């Protein structure tokens, strides 16, 4: 499907197969990938995190504020990670301990995080984050753009986590047969909370790249980005049922969303229609998945 | 073991919920009037009612959806598209009536789409309406292309900002639809069937209730109410932009949940939703009066949603753990 | 009977005097029922011990006591002659007892090896990591013990039911299980898969694993060998060896429950018109070739063992599961469509899972009673709470439903009264054909009689009733005729004169 789409865009727009454009797709997709990877894990547990875009936005604000004040990227990143993890913990705790439905909980935390981002900045952008931060988007490591390196590293780390650790095994079991996992003596709630904490922390990490890319933090920068992430996961073949999905599919999904947006941009299709198209894709992907299973 | 708890009657429980929530309204009013001298003025109270009217109209349709244990996340986006379509039709033709018909029609169509996704394609409601949210959102932005439509005939604007006997028109609409909502939920067989579907969809189906048709109905009604709300909103603002509806989804869900309707279906009332809309509006209005930044509003609404759903889970899960 | 019990010879094998596991005088009561009454059982290493009994004879209760799900009221357990206690599933596990249930506890999108070692993964060098190599090697070893050639990396959802069952057995063996309880292990297996399971059972036997084998299929019981213990009404009727008995003898040991004669209805002498006529019906849920006739004024039983397809027939007739072959005619008109059409054409279903499928528990008694007849009572669609309460109150009086009032939530009613609410729902709907699926399940004795009286009233008024029941004595007592099902097909019909527990059970069990 990705190949077909790529070929289609290549033939209809001369700028598409340009090396710079392809690198551009990769760079832009990295931030989405950082959200979509943990979203895959969350959806494997039959959950969802609608607050991820808002948490990313708030993390950008925190990161930029610390970076401006202290000039330390390490401190800034630590702050963003801690904030993301805290939101993840809140989501996970409400879902696991109180048994609240994930989509309503994260809709609530979406409101809280996006509100906090507006309130703390007074709806103003924070600029002047310094070149140390910008390096993480614009810089190169051994000739390769830093975001691509980080994206690849994040994928490898997440792949290892999902397929080579107990945590990963239990992620599949949380969605596939939670009762069996409980009977096997595993502390189900701790792992479920862990998945959401991971999601929040990854949003915090993505804040570094997003802030670097814009060399500023905008109080509404990534609002709604969870939608692209959910789309990428769903298109990548992860369903909301029974822990059915695969991580590499999400990479393909992210690329597909990236290529789609990029290609449609080159074809001068307004971004609003792209959103509509992706909305249709989500529904289509889930319908196909549910028919495959019956 | 349950002999001791026997005299717990369904009706009185509902009644108690409403009374509790009304007491909360009263308490909020007292607190606000102490905190701010501007609260207990006719102008402000009228304003509160008018704001509550918009949220209630949107939330009343949503109440029916949630009664069936479903959810409609697309209502905000629906308001946006319906308002923009209605606005441009009015400007193009000069006919408020035609515009209103288009607004209501687009609202219904989106709701019908949700209903079909949930029944025919059997998607989980939150996913179906979440996808729909973005489809509608995208279409709206594409249609508007960043433009703003403003300036409508006074006759149409009266719908949102007009008065009759010094009470805003939307407030009349609110009470009219409260009556319609209560009538539908309590005094029609369809209303009874909707409660039954929410309480136990399998038993409802095996009792011969056409479950899918009723579900399509409630999603369509929810869409239609979003269409109606969009008209009032449009008339009030006297302008339409792509994103006007988005901030309304969370408050509408909050109003339904505060009003005592359970996300797990089968429990709740339309009148409760009115009280929920009042509570939410009072909180937001109070923040306004106390000169708290409007940016706090999504945050406070988010906290309220989580509190309301926690309360819902703690009260309703406990009672029917066997489900 | 005592002669039969005495016929048990010394256990074959006989490596040691003390059996691997022994239960003595196990008693377990539930309100109103004594599920197990001083049952004793010996299980020897390398032996297959068959548990046989009618539905509700106490097999599953015994199994649940053994695996720690139920706590026995009285009785002792001995492990290799030493007294032990089973107070929780964990106790049972440490004693090496594992139950292979019909519904598997597997995770569909994890591999075979990951499922076997779920929660006990071999640890790798990096903290938190899993040593895949070791895990797959150990899984391979276990599967080889079973002679299962499936790839340990295959995802479980891609396997067939038979293979999933073997993975479940491998999982139990990996936990050092020495006593496997197999609950109807062949229920979902084809003939070839069944043969294979038997060869695996033999293999496990030679490795010294003891097995308790629960089955309804008499032919199998002789096939797997080992000792046979027959239960009836929670009591052990006897223990014997397959070589010294016959299928007929086993059937006669299983039947003969105390029949309660306090109630006997006047059987229908001259049934009325044909209400339901089914020819060659097949449905998506697996039933096929079903032929039935039910006439007005008749109570027709639909008997058979649990899992023989009775509920599936009911669901297909009612339109809840799609009919794919044959014809269903109701009052001489072809019946099509879903449950809503069924109700409109005069059909009613009292489902087996009362709480999950029959009632809206969080709604009031009145709401539930009116649920199926809203259209009838309020043809214009305007619902009047006062009239609704009136109609419901009338039904509450008529059926003597014990409730403080029509507004009481159904979940606070007793099981018998909840069942009456379901029946009341269909009285209001004025159904012509009423299908009862296990109408007395989980209801105490007094309420049972009331339910039967109600069913009798219905047919007196000219309705036709199809009654599914696992209690053979109930079918014999209540029904005018009965059909018997086996393996998702109707295999026979018994007229009133032929209706006896022995005949029902013969038809239901005999594979010949």
Please state, for a pLDDT cut of 90, what percent of chain C lies above it: 18
How far is Cα B17 from Cα A147, in angstroms, rounded to an integer? Answer: 53
CA distance B77 to B73: 8
Average pLDDT, chain C: 84
Span C318-343, mean pLDDT?
Answer: 90
Chosen for mutation from C89, C107, C153, C164 (greatest number of chain A CBs closer than 10 Å) is C107
User: Does residue A190 surpass a pLDDT of 90?
Assistant: yes
Question: Could you tell me which chains touch chain C, where touching means 3 or more CB pairs under 8 A?
Answer: A, B
The residue whose two tokens read 């008339």 is B235
Q: Which of B131, B263, B310 sits opposite A279 (nearest CB)?
A: B131
- Is A179 within 8 Å of chain C by CB? yes
Write the CA distances from B44 to A82, B25, B48, B160, B169, integer angstroms.
42, 15, 6, 16, 16
Q: Do A108 and B296 touch (CB under 8 A)?
A: no
Residue A280 within a domain: no
Look at residue C4 in the predicted model and tell me its pLDDT: 38
User: Which chain B residues are closer than 8 Å to C320 by Cβ?
Assistant: 205-206
Query: Residues of chain B whose C-beta is under 8 A from some C-beta in A?
Result: 71, 73, 117, 121-124, 126-128, 130-142, 145, 242, 250, 253, 263, 293, 295-303, 305-306, 309-310, 313-314, 317
Q: Answer whether 0.90 is exceeded by the pTM.
A: no
pLDDT, residue C300, reads: 93
Full domain range(s) for residue A114: 32-222
What are the 10-residue block averages of pLDDT along chain B, 323 residues in total?
40 70 83 80 86 93 95 93 92 88 95 94 86 88 82 82 83 92 92 94 92 96 95 87 83 90 89 91 85 82 86 65 32
Instruction: Note whether A208 and A63 are within 8 A (CB).
Output: yes
The three-state secondary structure class of C378 is: coil
Interchain proximity A108–B130, CB inside 8 Å = no
**Partner residue facing B124 (CB), from A98, A107, A240:** A240
Average pLDDT over residues C476-504: 88
Contacts of A242 in chain C (CB under 8 A): 108-109, 157
Residue A100 domain-assigned (yes or no): yes
Alpha helices in B208-248 (DSSP H): 211-237
Residue-wise burial string across A85-118, b where 16 or more C-beta atoms lie within 10 A, e elsewhere: bebbbbbbbbbbeeebbbbbbbbbbbbbbbbbbb
CA distance to partner chain B, nearest, from residue C352 (Å): 12
**What is the pLDDT at residue C192?**
77
pLDDT at residue A2 is higher than 70:
no
Question: Does residue C471 have a pLDDT over 70?
Answer: yes
Q: How many whole angstroms from its chain centre is CA A55?
A: 11
Residues shown for chain C: 512
Higher pLDDT, residue C334 or C148: C334
Instruction: Please provide the DSSP assignment of C193-239 as one string.
Output: HHHHHHHHHHHHHHTT-EEEEE-S-HHHHHHH-SEEEEEETTEEEEE
Q: How far is CA C211 from the centre of its chain?
A: 21
In angstroms, the CA A94 to CA B222 distance is 28
- Per-residue confidence (pLDDT) for residue A18, from 0 to 100: 67
pLDDT for A191: 95
In 3D space, the residue among C228, C219, C225, C178 whose CA is nearest the CA of residue C199 turns out to be: C225
Nearest alpha-carbon partner for A220 in A230, A210, A212, A229? A210
Find chain A residues with C-beta within 8 A of C118's C-beta.
169, 173, 180-181, 184, 186
Instruction: Return the pLDDT at A57.
Output: 94
Beta bridge partners of A216: A127
**Angle of helix A225-235 versus helix A52-70 axis, rounded to 10:** 130
The number of CA neighbours under 13 Å toward the Cβ of C449 is: 8
Do C177 and C96 meet the contact criterion of CB atoms below 8 Å apart?
yes
A249 touches chain C (CB under 8 A): no
pLDDT at C11 over 70: no
Start-to-end C-alpha separation, chain B: 17
- C contacts of A169 (beta carbons < 8 Å): 110, 114, 118, 121, 130
pLDDT tens digits for C140-181?
988 888 878 889 899 988 888 788 888 888 888 888 788 888
Top pLDDT among C445 and C417 is at C417
- Nearest-by-Cβ selection for C425 from B207, B210, B319: B207
Alpha-carbon distance of C377 to C366, in angstroms, equals 13
> What number of other Cβ atoms are within 10 A of residue C201's Cβ?
22
Q: What is the pLDDT, as a whole number, of residue B320?
A: 39
User: Scanning every residue of chain B, which has its alpha carbon at the shortest distance from the alpha carbon of A122?
Assistant: B295
The total number of structural domains in chain A stands at 1
Fold topology of B10-314: ABC transporter involved in vitamin B12 uptake, BtuC (1.10.3470)
Q: What is the mean pLDDT of residues C221-236?
A: 83
Q: Which residues on B lie below 8 Å from A105 (Cβ)?
A: 306, 309
CB–CB contact B203 C359 (8 Å) = yes
Helix count and strand count (H, E) for chain B: 13, 4
- Residue by residue, what is the 3-state secondary structure of chain A? CHHHHHHHHHHHCCCCCCHHHHHHHHHHHHHHHHHHHHHHHHHHCCCCCCCHHHHHHHHHHHHHHHHHHHCCHHHHHHHHHHHHHHHHHHHHHHHHCCCCCHHHHHHHHHHHHHHHHHHHHCCCCEECCCHHHHHHHHCEECCEEHHHHHHHHHHHHHHHHHHHEHHHHHHHHHHHCHHHHHHCCCCHHHHHHHHHHHHHHHHHHHHHHHHHHHCEECCCCCCCHHHHHHHHHHHCCCCCCCCCCCHHHHHHHHHHHHHHHHHHHHCCCCHHHHHHHHHHHHHHHHHHHHHHCC
- The predicted pLDDT at position A259 comes to 79
Lowest mean pLDDT among A201-210, B226-235, C53-62, C259-268: C259-268
Tell whether C367 lies on the interface with B, counting CB pairs under 8 A: yes
- pLDDT 10s digits, C380-415: 989 998 999 999 999 898 888 888 889 888 988 887
pLDDT (tens digit, 9 = 90+) per residue, C246-298? 877 887 787 765 555 555 677 777 788 899 999 999 999 888 889 999 999 99
- Considering only A28-42, B116-130, C25-39, C462-476, which range has the smallest mean pLDDT? C25-39
C242, C222 Cβ separation under 8 angstroms: yes
Beta carbons within 8 Å of A118's beta carbon, 6+ residues apart: A219, A220, B293, B295, B298
Band of pLDDT at residue A292, cut at 50, 70 and 90: low
> Does ipTM top 0.85?
no
- Look up residue A59 and give its two tokens: 């993390």
Q: Which of B62, B242, B264, B302 to mutate to test the interface with A (most CBs of A within 10 A)?
A: B302
- pLDDT for res A294: 56
User: Can you tell me the mean pLDDT for A166-192?
Assistant: 89
- Say if residue C3's pLDDT is above 50: no
Q: C-alpha angle with apex A146: A140 to A149, nearest 5 degrees?
A: 125
Nearest-angstrom CA–CA distance, A39 and A225:
12
Per-residue pLDDT tens digits for A55-83:
999 999 999 999 888 888 889 899 999 99
CA–CA separation, B91 vs B240, rounded Å?
Answer: 11
Alpha carbons A288 and A175: distance in angstroms, whole number: 19
User: Cβ C109–A245 below 8 Å, yes or no?
Assistant: yes
Q: Is the dihedral of CA B129, B133, B139, B143 positive or negative?
A: positive
Between positions 252 and 281 of C, the ones with CB within 8 A of B are none
pLDDT confidence tier of residue C188, bands split at 50, 70 and 90? confident
Q: How many CB atoms lie within 10 A of CB C415?
A: 15
- Asked if A99 and B317 come within 8 Å (Cβ–Cβ), the reply is yes
Q: Is the pLDDT of residue A102 over 70?
A: yes
Interface of C with B in 420-439 (CB under 8 A): 425, 429
Can you give the pLDDT at residue C243? 82
Q: Which chain C residue is nearest to residue B206, measuring alpha carbons?
A: C339
Facing C367 at nearest CB: one of B196, B210, B322: B196
The C290-295 sheet, strands edge to edge: C290-295, C274-283, C323-330, C333-334
Q: What percent of chain A has pLDDT over 90?
A: 32
Do C110 and A185 make contact, defined as CB atoms within 8 angstroms?
no
Q: What is the pLDDT of residues C296-313, one digit of tens each?
A: 999 999 998 877 888 999
Any domain includes A82: yes
Cβ separation A115–B295 shorter than 8 A: yes
The β-bridge relationship of strands C274-283 and C290-295 is: antiparallel
- pLDDT bucket at A9, cuts 50 / 70 / 90: low
How confident is the model at residue B83, as a pLDDT?
92
Distance in angstroms (rounded) separating the CA atoms of residues C138 and C131: 11
């Amino acid at each position: 499907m990705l190949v077909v789409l790529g070929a289609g865009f290549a033939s209809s727009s001369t700028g598409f197969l340009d090396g710079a454009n392809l690198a551009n797709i990769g760079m832009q997709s990295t931030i989405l990938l950082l959200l979509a990877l943990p979203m895959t894990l969350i959806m494997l547990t039959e959950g969802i995190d609608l607050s991820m875009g808002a948490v990313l936005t708030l993390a950008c604000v925190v990161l930029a504020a610390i970076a401006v004040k202290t000039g330390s990227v390490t401190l800034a990143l630590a702050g963003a990670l801690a904030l993301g993890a805290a939101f993840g913990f809140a989501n996970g705790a409400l879902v696991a301990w109180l048994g609240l439905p994930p989509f309503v909980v994260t809709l609530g935390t979406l409101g809280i995080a996006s509100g906090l981002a507006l309130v703390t900045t007074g709806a103003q952008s924070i600029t002047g984050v310094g070149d140390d931060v910008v390096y993480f988007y614009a810089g190169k490591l051994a000739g390769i753009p830093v975001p691509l390196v980080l994206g690849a590293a994040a994928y490898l780390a997440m792949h290892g986590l999902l397929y080579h650790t107990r945590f990963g095994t239990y992620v599949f079991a949380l969605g596939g047969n939670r009762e069996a996992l409980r009977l096997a003596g595993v502390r189900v709630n701790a792992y479920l909370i862990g998945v959401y904490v991971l999601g929040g922390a990854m949003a915090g990490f993505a804040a570094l790249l997003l802030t670097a890319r814009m060399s500023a933090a905008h109080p509404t920068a990534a609002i709604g980005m969870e939608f692209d992430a959910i789309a990428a996961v769903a298109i990548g073949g992860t369903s909301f049922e029974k822990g059915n999905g695969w991580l590499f599919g999400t990479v393909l999904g992210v690329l597909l969303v990236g290529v789609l947006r990029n290609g449609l941009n080159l074809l001068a299709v307004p971004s609003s229609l792209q959103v509509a198209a992706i909305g249709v894709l989500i529904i289509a992907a889930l319908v196909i998945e549910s028919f495959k299973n019956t | 073991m349950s002999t001791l708890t026997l005299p717990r009657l369904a009706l009185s429980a509902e009644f108690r919920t409403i009374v509790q929530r009304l007491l909360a309204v009263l308490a909020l009013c007292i607190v606000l009037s102490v905190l701010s001298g501007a609260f207990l003025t006719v102008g402000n109270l009228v304003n509160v009612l008018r704001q509550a009217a918009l949220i209630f109209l949107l939330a009343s349709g949503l109440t029916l959806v949630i009664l069936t244990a479903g959810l409609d996340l697309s209502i905000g986006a629906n308001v946006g598209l319906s308002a923009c379509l209605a606005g441009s039709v009015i400007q193009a033709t000069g006919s408020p009536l035609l515009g209103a018909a288009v607004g209501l029609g687009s609202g219904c169509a989106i709701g019908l789409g949700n209903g079909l996704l949930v029944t025919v394609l059997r998607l989980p409601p939150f996913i179906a309406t979440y996808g729909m949210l973005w489809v509608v959102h995208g279409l709206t932005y594409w249609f508007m292309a960043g433009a703003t439509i403003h300036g409508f005939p006074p006759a149409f604007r009266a719908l949102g900002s007009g008065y009759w006997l010094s009470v805003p028109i939307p407030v009349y609409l609110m009470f009219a639809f409260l009556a319609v909502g209560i009538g539908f939920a309590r005094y029609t067989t369809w209303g009874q069937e909707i409660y039954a579907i929410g309480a136990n969809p399998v038993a409802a189906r095996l009792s011969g209730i056409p479950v899918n048709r009723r579900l399509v109905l409630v999603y369509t009604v929810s869409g239609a109410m979003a269409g109606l709300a969009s008209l009032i909103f449009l008339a009030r603002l006297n302008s339409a932009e792509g994103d006007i509806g988005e901030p309304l989804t969370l408050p509408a869900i909050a109003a339904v949940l505060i009003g005592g309707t359970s996300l797990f279906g089968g429990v709740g009332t339309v009148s409760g939703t009115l009280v929920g809309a009042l509570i939410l509006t009072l909180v937001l209005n109070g923040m306004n009066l106390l000169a708290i930044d409007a940016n706090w509003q999504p945050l406070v609404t988010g906290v309220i949603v989580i509190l309301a759903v926690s309360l819902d889970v703690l009260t309703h899960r406990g009672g029917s753990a066997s489900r | 009977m005592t002669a039969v019990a005495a016929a048990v010879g010394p256990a074959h094998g006989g490596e040691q005097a003390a059996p691997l596991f022994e239960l003595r005088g196990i008693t377990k009561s539930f309100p109103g029922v004594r599920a197990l009454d001083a049952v004793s059982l010996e299980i020897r290493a390398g032996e297959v011990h068959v548990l046989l009994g009618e539905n509700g004879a106490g097999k599953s209760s015994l199994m649940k006591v053994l695996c720690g799900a139920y706590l026995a009221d009285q009785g002792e357990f001995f492990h290799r002659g030493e007294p032990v206690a089973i107070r929780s599933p964990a106790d049972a596990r440490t004693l090496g007892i594992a139950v292979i249930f019909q519904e598997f506890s597997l995770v569909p999108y994890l591999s075979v090896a990951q499922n076997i070692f779920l929660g006990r993964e071999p640890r790798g060098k990096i903290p938190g990591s899993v040593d895949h190599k070791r895990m797959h090697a150990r899984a391979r070893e276990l599967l080889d013990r079973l002679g299962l050639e499936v790839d340990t990396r295959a995802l479980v959802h891609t396997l067939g039911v038979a293979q999933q069952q073997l993975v479940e057995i491998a999982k139990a063996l990996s936990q050092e299980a020495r006593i496997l309880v197999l609950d109807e292990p062949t229920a979902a297996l084809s003939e070839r898969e069944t043969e294979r399971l038997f060869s695996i059972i033999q293999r496990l036997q030679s490795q010294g694993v003891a097995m308790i084998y629960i089955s309804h299929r008499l032919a199998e019981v002789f096939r797997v060998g080992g000792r046979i213990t027959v239960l009836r009404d929670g009591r052990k009727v006897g223990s014997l060896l397959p070589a010294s008995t016959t299928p007929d003898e086993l059937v006669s040991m299983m039947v003969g429950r105390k029949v309660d004669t306090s109630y006997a209805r006047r059987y229908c002498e001259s049934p009325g018109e044909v209400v339901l006529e089914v020819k060659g019906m097949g449905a998506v849920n697996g039933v096929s070739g079903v032929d039935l006739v039910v006439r007005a004024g008749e109570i027709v039983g639909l008997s058979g063992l649990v899992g023989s397809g009775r509920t599936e027939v009911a669901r297909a007739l009612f339109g809840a599961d799609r009919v794919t072959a044959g014809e269903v005619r109701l009052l001489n008109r072809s019946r099509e469509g879903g449950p809503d059409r069924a109700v409109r054409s005069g059909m009613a279903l009292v489902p087996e899972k009362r709480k999950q499928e029959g009632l809206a528990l969080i709604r009031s008694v009145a709401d539930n009673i009116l649920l199926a007849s809203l259209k009838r009572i309020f043809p214009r669609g305007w619902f009047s709470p006062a009239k609704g309460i009136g109609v419901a109150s009338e039904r509450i009086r008529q059926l003597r439903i014990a409730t403080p009032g029509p507004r009481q939530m159904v979940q606070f009613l007793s099981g018998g009264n909840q069942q009456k609410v379901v029946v009341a729902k269909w009285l209001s709907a004025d159904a012509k054909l009423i299908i009862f699926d296990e109408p007395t399940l989980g209801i105490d004795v007094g309420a049972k009689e009331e339910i039967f009286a109600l069913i009798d009233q219905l047919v007196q008024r000219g309705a036709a009733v199809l009654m599914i029941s696992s209690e053979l004595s109930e079918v014999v007592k209540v029904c005018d005729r009965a059909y018997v099902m086996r393996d998702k097909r109707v295999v026979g019909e018994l007229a009133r004169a032929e209706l006896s527990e022995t005949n029902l059970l013969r038809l239901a069990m005999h594979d010949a």
